[in-house]
Structure 1
Amino acid sequence: MKQNYKSYYLTTLLVFLGFLQLSAQAIIINAPEPADNPNLAGNSVWGYICAGNGGFNEYFVNVTWAGTANAGNEFILELSDASGSFSAPTELVTVTDKNTVNDFDVSFSIPTDTRGLNYKMRVRSTDPVKIGTESPAYNMFYMDITNNLNISELGDGVPPGSVCATGPITLQVDNIPNPETYQYIWYRSGTLLTGETGHTLTVSQSGMYNAYVDYGPNCTGSGNTDSNIVDVTIGGTGSGIAINPPSKTILCPTDSEILSIDQTDAAWSYQWYKNDVAIMGAIGTTYTVNGGVAGFEGDYAVEISGTGICTERSAPVTMSNPGSYSITRVNPENVVLLPTIPQTLSVVTDASSPTYKWFKNGGEIAGETTSTLNVTEGGNYYAQVTETGGSCGSTSKNSETTVVVTPASFELVLDYAGNYTSCVSTSIVLEVATINAVASDGTKTDVTEDLRNAFAYQWQKDGSTISGQTGNSISIASNLENGSYTVNATIDTYNETSNALAVQLLTGDTVTISSTGTVYCSASDLITLSASLDLATESFEWQLDGSMISTTNTNLNVSATGTYRLVLNRDGCELISNEVTISPLDENLISLEPAGNMVIPEGTTRTITASGGTAYRWMDPNNTEISTSDSAAITEPGTYTLIASIGNCDIVRQFEVSILDTFKVPNVITVNGDGINDQWVIPNSYSNRPDVNVIIYNGQGEEVLNEFDYKNNWPQTSTAFTKQNMVFYYKIRNANEVLKQGTITVIR
């Protein structure tokens, strides 16, 4: 009989598993189809999407599917990219309440960056996992720009109306954010410019130009983005007018100069400008500049205009008086005269035909008549520039004064080359970082780049010369070289010593600590920490959570949980070991799979596995050891014991094993008081279980029993059964699912 029960449950299980497999596969999701928007009047089934205009962005699709969806299933409406690819789909909406509805409509909104002609949609389910059929391609545009564009040549937001140019110009959209992220439609005199889709357009032909944001064939017209029209004329004279070179550009008070345009045309109009301001009445082909008029100096140009030509202005001509030139000192204001290095002073001028003289301390230096001067002595120097002004004589100007000094001494500043932290760094390079020339008044001038390689150096440590170290830097690679460093530097008659720089490097040695365990069980347990170095000759301290706990124990017996480390004193620096964390015993570290008590079919074997320990011992109900691995085979009912070790700590776990009842849930009971089948007795896999809920309903759907840990004691009396063959309904469930349900017929 037991074998028959086993065969029955095995057959039932196989059928159930087959049903689950069929259910997981038996779902088909059709392509979503455009649907009517119930919030709009009339029939509003869409064939393309033009969203965003006026803020509108609500559309509907119809979803149909066939098969069986599980209780936790979700239907997700997805949108492809603009090319129709679902490699990275956008989730538009998730539907959770249609798992029993095979035909429904759902609303969605498109993302604000949607712009393209080939968007597709599909529906995906999560339980079972299924990807539905893709829809056809649709034009979809979110029209976030719905105002008139402005196009201009200058990009300043001002509609130009018309532009006249002698060569190609560029028109651009200039009144919307990030215009380069959109595509455009450009027209010239009503003709579409094929292939021109950018926010700029190079114009080389005359015509009337305007543009739209390209929202596709269905949406562009409703986007209201048509731009202003720019009338572009390309052509005109294109000859590049100019002013004839004047005979002189420097005018004395008695001088005048006639400026004239290099080409003329009876159809042209002329206008002369000074410093870009139109000169009133100057509308001829020539203009006379009078040196006797105050403020005549400036830049003069002429502009032409006329019917059928583009307005064009010449390059300017500068007119000045003899004293209008400038002179500029090229070298610094203060120059240090360095040993072995000559210094050159120089000036530049915009005078047309200058002559030069140099002066030292107010006296002229004979023979120095160029724009440069080599100096070998200290003093105050300047250059005098003279400009010959024709009939009004000559004008002279002096440059700014240069102070040339000879240093009284030099200052050498040492620094660390790179990042350096005392007792952290294990190597460092010291270098001569700065060399200052110090004047007699204490003024310092940085001459590092000029003299860094000119000095002769000798490095010293703690006042003693370091043999062979004669460069402008020194490399220190060991804590054995710790100390105070200086460098002595000589050049010509100067002999200088730098500042002192301390070096405190950490030793390159390492120290590690280890422990006999990492879990502290109780005060009776012993965990010992030891070091990789012999501590007998070391100065050290053991630390717990950063605080000192011992300076004498070469091996430390642990008496508390926390983080331990060892700190050695090496040459005034701390040499810190790795950290070892000793944790308190946590019984939750040991877990069993499956967890809790076990119910196994009679004659079968179940395996239980433990994790979190370092060693295991399994005991059967007779306290006989059955395994020392992380798992054990269970075949008999009773109380089993696991002793799991974590380090030197033991954790004991016990669990009950019972045999699965092989009888079915009865659907008939007889409450006649004969002691046979008077109560509804169900298998022990359901009864006496605090995690299993048993519910019984009468024929009117009212609960007559609702219990966890059911004791097989319903009904407790037969008085409630007023009729023969009363039918009740039961449901047996746990926290996640219904385990069993059916009917109970009560016979009196």
Structure 2
Amino acid sequence: MKTNGSTYSILVLAIAFMLFGASTVQAQVLNKPVPAPNPNIGSDDPWDAACASVGYNEYYVKFTWMPPMVSSNNEFILELSDSDGYFGSPRELARVSDKNTILDFKFKFSLPTDTRGENFKFRVRSTSPAKTSPASDAFSMYFIDYKSPLLISENGSGSIPSGGEIQICGGGSVTLKPHNIPNAGTYRYNWYRSGTPLPEKTESITVSDPGMYYVELDYGSVCSGSANTLSNTITIGTGTSAGIALNGPSNVTVCPGDTHILEANISGGGYTYTWYKDGNVISGPTVNANTYTVNTSTSGFEGAYAVEIGGSGICKEKSAAVTISATGSYSVTLANQENIVLLPSQTKTLSVNTTATSPTYQWYKNGSAISGATNSSLNINSIGEYYVQVSQNGGPCTAAPIASAKTTVVSPDSFEFEIDFVGTYTACENTDATLSLTAIHAVSDSGAKTDVTADLQSSFTYQWKRNGNLVNGETSRTITLSNHEKNGFYSLDGTIDAFNASSNSMEVKLKVNEFLQITTNGTVLCEGGEAIVLTSSMDLSGKSFEWKKDGVVIDTSSESLTASETGAYELILKEYDCPLASNKVNVSAFDESLLVLDKPKDLIIIEGETKTITASGADSYEWYDTGNNLLSSQDSYSFQMEGEYLLVASFGTCTVSRVITVTYRDMFSIPNVITANGDGINDLWVLPNTYSRDPNVLVTIFNERGEQVFSQAGYENNWPQSTTSFNKQSMIFYYKVTRGGKSLKQGTITVIK
């Protein structure tokens, strides 16, 4: 007979109940997930490592669990650990809600594109009830997002040497680095020298030992080879120094604009030359380029220059540096470099600072020299573009005049303000906020804007507005708000001379500075327990509000809410611009395992001794005897007498009952010999307390012919009786001890007269 997965699961559950009973099936058991074959590629073998890519990213895991059945709204969630196998922040891979009657099924999932590691694990989590499976075994898992051969070159320059060979001198080194992979620094690498793995896992390595070097991306112990990223090979050789150096002195001083040529002491031979300034490449490598012209007309030409030589038959080496410095240079700095707004009837002063020796000055407006403007400062009363040219009239060098930066003087057509929040502000999260003027723009008749904040912010008079209305007393550049009742759209107006300026509008939405609390008579749901009712600390009459469970609105009209399902409950008051959220109350399902006893509930004691059982986990406790008499309300009780006792533990509105059975431990065994000679010693057949004086226990004795000679329920250790006679010196009897027809003990008794 064929059955589908659901029918099979239900059959398994039924069999479990028949074989073990309802009391045996206590709670769901979630087994650890294991890899499963992909049914879409015709393979019967489960995967042992995941090497995903854009072209293939489909995997399966098998998951099994045991009843009782989960809730109908349950979801099973497949989660992935981090690369070290930890579930501190698990990632969800798959979620199913239609497998709640299937005890054996598969999850289908894809690897996240940033998955890289050797020790990823899986687990499965159910939501109702909330349980988590054990973690799976660890697996090598990589998403291979780059799967082309790498190309390596010196310093990742992209220039692969002829024949793939680089010669270095003794004590020298070369840095190898891939140059054709995006985001190279985000990967780990496997470097090799002549087939031997190297310990470095970084993007680049610096080597000095001879050998053949190559690299591949490190996609783990399984996936690296399938990615096909193995690079070209660079052969490093060593040789004798060619003695490369720069001709001339090691320190050179030049005038700005003068020509200076650096020359290597080795030329010809088809060698390549790479020129450096302050350790950075500025030219090359270029064949036969044994000279380099320093452009002293460029600012910042000063520095330490060196050359590196390489080529067939010689080893690569770098010369000692030659330091080039400037003499006779000077700086020119305009004191008013910002653009200047010139209001009607205003006069502004421009000034210049310079380090020139015996300087002379010439000011320019709109590119033309201003007649007579030959001082270090200039008074202006008209708009235009201004700068100054400074000449040096002393020192070792004769240099061309240096012009300052240009500053633009404008006459505004209007002004605009910009306002913004000061510091961090998030709508409906802050309880206070500060707005401030951040910029003043002068706007020309053509619409061009010039930032004049520093020049004019102290010259304006200000007025704040809220929703277009004046805010009394707020006449500074800054306004601070700390009450949600002041929420609204704010703007800033200003006045200077005949100009009026307005700002952009900024909406302020402050969080209500009140506390909304919901309380409850309990947080644990249990069958037959008191209903869990959530109530608000505020009167909700006539107000707009929402009750939410797990972030979803479930009620908008009830002033109190009865929680009938597990979840996180909260109340949202919608009376304000920013909704006011209450605290969250987490309602969970009751779990009887919360009650813990420190000793077994079947307690065996020696008659006359006392044993104490202590309970924990509940809010309160009550201990009862078989007559329903309350013995104690403490968390522990000391037992001295045999019998059955009842413990009732309360968890809020939920209770758990435990029956405690106390029995005496037998200190001796059933005797099989008695001496009925009337001396008062061993004259009677005495049973342990387990079988004597119990009205439910029947003791029956038979003679050797199988005839019943004695029968008593609640045996009082009184056989043989005084009227019993024995006609032999030694006689054998048979006994049987039963309870409810079930045999407890049987054996023989030898009676010696």
Q: TM-score scaled to structure 2, two decimals?
A: 0.44
Q: Give the structure-1-normalised TM-score.
A: 0.44
Larger radius of gyration: 1
